[in-house]
Amino acid sequence: MDLPDNGAFQLGTTGIAFNAFTDGLSHTILVGEKHVPIDQFGVGWLDSSTYNGDYLASCTRAGGLGIGLAYSLREPEWKFGAMHKGIVQFAWGDGSVRSLPAGISPNILSMYLERNDGGVIPE
C-alpha cells in the first residue's frame, strides 16, 4: 500500500517543520482517536500494544482517500473512531482538540489530514 507523503507524520523522518504545514496548523489533524471494534479490545492487530513494534496498524489509523470515520462500534476496519457515538476527537496542529462528526465525507477528512494540499475546506 502506498502511503501519502503529505500527512503530519512520516515514516523514516525525524520530524516535519511547522512551515511545511502550508494549509495552516489549525486546519491540519495531528492525532486522532483510534477505532477498535467493541469486541476486539486488546485482541489482534487493531489493538495490540503500541510499544511492541510488531504491528504499525496497532498504533496508527487511516483516513481520507475513500476511508471515512468509523460509524459503528463493530466496524472491523483500520480507521479513526470513538466509543462516544457520532463524533471523533482530534488534536490539531495549533494545539486545540476538536471533534468531527462520524459522518464527515472522506474527501473532507482527507483535506484535514493533509498538511499541504492547498484545498479550501467547504463550510
Tell me which residue range forms the domain holding 47: 1-123
Task: Give the total number of structural domains in the chain.
Answer: 1
DSSP 20: G
Kindly report, residue by residue over 5-27, the tens digit of the pLDDT. Answer: 788 887 777 788 999 999 999 99
Name the residue among 36, 34, 35, 23 with its Cα closest to residue 92: 23
pLDDT, tens digit (0-9, with 9 covering 90-100), for 60-109 = 777 877 888 988 888 888 889 998 888 999 999 999 999 999 999 999 99
pLDDT digits (tens, 9 = 90+) for 109-118: 999 999 998 9
Cα separation values, 9 from 12, 42, 105, 114, Å: 9, 25, 22, 10
| Alpha-carbon gap, residue 16 to 8, rounded angstroms | 7
pLDDT at 55 over 80: no
Side-chain half-sphere exposure of 30, counting CA atoms within 13 A: 16
Q: What is the mean pLDDT of residues 32-49?
A: 81
pTM for the structure as a whole: 0.83
Euclidean distance between CA atoms 8 and 18, whole angstroms: 9
